[in-house]
Structure 1
Amino acid sequence: MTETDTRGRWLTNEELRDARERLPILYVDAVPVRVDERGVVTEIGLLLRASAEGEINHELVSGRVLYHERVRDALLRHLEKDLGPLAMPRIPLSPTPFTVAEYFPTPGVTPFHDPRQHAVSLAFVVTVQGDCSPQQDALDLAWVTPDEAARLAEQGDMENGHGVLLRQALAHLGHPV
């Protein structure tokens, strides 16, 4: 393969492991929301997942951007993967993240931690209009008010810095945190 060959393929598990040891990996994080007729956020969707220790935690939609994949397509893919094919997310024509989160394998460098890798994540608030049902390894999907979301973000039951990211999303939406 030459340097300009763009027909590439995704990485094997071994190649991904090697890349994670050497390069930051691009991710997207999404905060799914429901809005009223005026565009005011009324509910925030939080996934419930079991941690490796067997605890139930709230999480945001999150995942890698694949080689040769647009950011908007990665958002759609991960929202559908976690919320189901009928979620009907509304991705703007020019998606703009509300923040960029840097996840480090070393705890304490930033509030964001991923023991597997150094990852850079573009974080978005995404309106969801359809019926959602948790998919993949999500146990459930909880729709909470912005006030409830702020309390959950403060309680510390969101791993890897997702509580910080949720507080940043609430601040971006103009909700006091």
Structure 2
Amino acid sequence: MSTETHRQEAWLPREELESVRGRVPMLYVVAVPVRVDQSGEITSVGLLLRATDTGRMERELVGGRVQYHERIRDALVRHLEKDLGPMALPQVPPSPQPFTVAEFFPTPGVTPFHDPRQHAVAMVYVVPVGGDCAPQQDALDLSWLTPSEASEPGLLADMGGGHGVLLRQALSHLGHPV
């Protein structure tokens, strides 16, 4: 009996992806990019500004799907470099450990995390970046905020899909009361 399996390494076409999203939870990674000083203290948190499907502007964290046959670490680096630019120099350890896991549902209110397209499970990480960052692809802006600016209730409330909850959890995890 052969142990060889045949796989298709490419992303699914849009129609197939929509079908799968309706039947299978999708795996995501979310990164809270931070800058640290020489003593290791968080000096700033990076937030992206994007337009939603409805045209509303929202701040959000870096993130996206994990590809088939892709290591979690590689997915984190890929999404950080895609969103922050190739010179972001993310400092992802060899065996990254999430500080939380967020479960996004298409039905609002099941958890604080909502994604109308799908049921998704996201492992969430704090990742220091050391290089020059510039928003890439579909991000319109990248802002570096101090931890106190990032914990402002108005900013957290305006982050869609539960990203404000994740940012609040990240700041708390880093020792910054929210």
Structure 1 and Structure 2 fold alike (TM over 0.5): yes
Report the 3-state secondary structure (helix = DSSP H, G, I; strand = E; otherwise coil) of the residue aligned with 2:149: helix
- The answer on whether the counterparts of 2:100 and 2:124 sit within 8 Å (CA) in structure 1 is yes
In 2: Cα distance, 1:54 partner to 1:21 partner = 24
In 2: Cα distance, 1:74 partner to 1:155 partner = 25
In structure 2, the gaps of 5 or more residues are none
In 1: Cα distance, 2:152 partner to 2:71 partner = 34
Offset from partner CA, 1:74-126 (integer Å, 9 cap, x none):
00110011000000000011100010000000000000000000000000000
In 2: Cα distance, 1:61 partner to 1:152 partner = 20
- 1:5 matched residue in structure 2: 5
- 2:61 matched residue in structure 1: 60
Runs of 4+ in 1 over 3 A off after TM superposition: 152-155
Report the 3-state secondary structure (helix = DSSP H, G, I; strand = E; otherwise coil) of the residue aligned with 1:120: strand
- 2:118 matched residue in structure 1: 117
Report the 3-state secondary structure (helix = DSSP H, G, I; strand = E; otherwise coil) of the residue aligned with 2:116: coil
In 2: Cα distance, 1:6 partner to 1:171 partner = 44
In structure 1, the gaps of 5 or more residues are none
Q: How many residues align?
A: 176
Give the C-alpha shift of residue 43 in structure 1. 0.3
TM-score, with length taken from structure 2:
0.93
TM-score, with length taken from structure 1:
0.94
- Change beyond 3 A, Cα 1:13–1:155: closer
In 2: Cα distance, 1:85 partner to 1:169 partner = 24
Aligned identity (percent) is 65
